[in-house]
Structure formats: structure tokens, C-alpha cells
Amino acid sequence: MCVKRYLSNTVRSLVLTQGLRPTRQNSETLQENFVMSKVTFKNLNGLGISIAAVINVPENFDESKPYPAIVVSHPGGGVKEQTAGTYAKKLSEHGFVTIAFDASFQGESTGEPRQLENPHIRTEDVSAVIDYLTTLDYVDNERIGAMGICAGAGYTANAAINDRRIKAVGTVSMVNIGQMFRNGWDNSVKDSDAIPYIEVGSLARTSDASGTEFVTIPMAPLKEEDAPNEELRQAWEYYHTDRAAYCTAPGFATARSLNQIITYDAFFKAEAFLTQPLLTVVGSEAGSKWMSDDLMERAASTDKHMYVVDGANHMDLYDGDNPIAEAIGALAPFFQRTL
């Protein structure tokens, strides 16, 4: 059951800290076909956080055998029950153990303040989930891949730069969150014009320190009339209507996060260290496509490919039946080949 928890930004998480081994909630046995098993586990990155996640296993799963695994990271402002969960479920149908998780400070994961979107922590969350996967006897530690959607894809790329346990990288509608906030959705703004965002983040920290409510910023338009174009109108629709709204995804982040976001580069040193196989999936009409193009140019990998879904925009790859089927049609064989 999804319980509305965001009466204020300071409401404490309802998820209790668990040990490294999973605690399953409302799940069938792993041996059932395509079961989704809810787990919580300790994030070992030193912040005292527990990560909430969903594990999917393939048909005819045998817990005594090792399987390749894929970590799936949700967009900024999203949660595991939305598009990340969709991709995780569908990839499990192709023979993978998959895990979609809520970022630290978000969804059903613990951490205060709620809705912190620190890109460095979100990047480290990917490795924290891999830490957990390595404790599972049915996961082959030498065949772990990672993918993400939107900002989750950028965080995944950054995690792969830092963590050699990630053997293959997939991205969907990728956003480098630092680039997007600095340069705009369409890459039309120069870096230095983002200084006011840093000032907003700094002022928010002062306000947070003296008040009881944390200052927030929208991660997608909060109202339809706030959307500057059709693509971002669909972002509003996805997060704030019955299209995909979910009670643990309130659609905002702490404004203090801007101090880390503005100077963050998800692709930092990709030209030296991102050597793993890479597949970027992007819509031909996506305003965010330039960020996937940038990673394709910068990544050191000699096994890198872009798959373009003709006619699709950024949001179509979140929940459009045909665009997702096409994306999975590219991602599944890519991970089967590289893991």
C-alpha cells in the first residue's frame, strides 16, 4: 500500500533501518515466476540510511544458480514504482535479476531531509546497491550491469566511471543533471548564467538552518501552465496526474541540492575511465538528446552505441508501450551480450 507521507518536508521516513541481508515485505517466494520481492538493506556509504528496493527474478528462477544482475536507477523526482520499475520488470523477463530502488532521502528509503537530490549521493547509491547484490548467492558478481532513466541514467554513467564492478552501462532518455540545470533543457544557456541557482541554494541552506520547513524546488513543472513546452508538459502530466503519479514522489527536491547540482558533471573523466560497454537509448525528438550525444562523444569505451527511437520524445520512453518495447528490444540483447 502506498501511504501519503509528504504532509510536510520534515515528516520522517516510515522505513526502519535493516541489516545488510534483505527483509521481504508482501512478496511471494523467489521461486515464483517473475516475482517482485520488496527488500530493505543498509546503505554502507556511512550516512546511516536504509535503501528500499524491489528485486525481480526471471522465469523458472533457481536460487541455487548465479544470474547476471542489473541495477535500475529512477529519474530525478521519481521512485522505483514508476518507470524504473517498468524497465526492471521487463528486463527480468530476459533472464536477469534486476533491482529498482529508491534513492537515499527519497521514496521509501530513509534519510533526512526528505527529497534531498545530492548528485554525489545518488551516484554512490548505485554502488551501495551493488554492495548489496554481491551478498546474494544467486547474483554473479562478475556480471553486474547498471542502467537508469533521465537523471538516473546520468548517475549510472558516473557510477560506472567510479566503480569497476559495473560491467556494462545502459541509459534511457539520459540527463546529466548538472548540465541540464546549468545549460537548460535545450543547451542554450552558458554555465556562468547558472550562478543565481547557486545563490538560491545558498539562501535555502540559511533558511533551512533557521526554520522548520525545508525550501524546495520543482523537479518537473508543478502545474500544467508552468511547462514551457509540450515535452515538459508531459513531465507534469507524468508526475502529477493519474498517468503515473505516486504518493512517495511529491515532485520536488530540496533547494539546498542546487549547491551540488550546478557544479556536478555526471560525465566527469568519462574520456579516461568510462571504458565499459555502453548503450544509450534516446528518442529522436527528445530535447534532452544532446546529453546522450555528449556522453557518446566523451566515453572512452570502444564498445559504445546509440539506439534512437524514431518519433519518441524524452517522456515517451518513460511509459509509452511501443517506445519502451523498442528500448527493451535494444537493451536486453545488449546486456545479454555484455554480461
Closest CA to 74 of 137, 129, 140: 129
Phi-psi domain of 60 (left: phi exceeds 0; alpha: psi -120 through 50; beta: other): left
E strands of the chain, at which residues? 36-42, 50-56, 67-73, 97-101, 139-149, 166-172, 216-218, 252-254, 278-283, 304-309
What Rg do the C-alpha atoms of the chain give, in angstroms? 19
- pTM for the whole structure: 0.91
Find residue 72's DSSP bridge partners.
100, 147
What are the pLDDT digits (tens) for 11-28?
222 222 223 334 333 344
SS3 state at 247:
coil
Give the dihedral sign, CA 297/298/300/303: negative
What are the pLDDT digits (tens) for 271-322?
999 999 999 999 999 999 999 999 999 999 999 999 999 999 999 999 999 9
Show Cβ contacts of residue 196 under 8 Å, excluding neighbours closer than 6 positions.
Answer: none
What are the pLDDT digits (tens) for 31-83?
444 467 999 999 999 889 999 999 999 999 999 999 999 999 999 999 999 99
DSSP state at residue 193? G
211 pLDDT band, cuts 50/70/90, is confident
Q: Which CATH superfamily is domain 36-338 in?
A: Alpha/Beta hydrolase fold, catalytic domain (3.40.50.1820)
Closest CA to 149 of 182, 126, 175: 175
Torsion angle (degrees, nearest 10) of CA 237, 241, 111, 180: 10
Q: What mean pLDDT, rounded, does the chain reach? A: 91
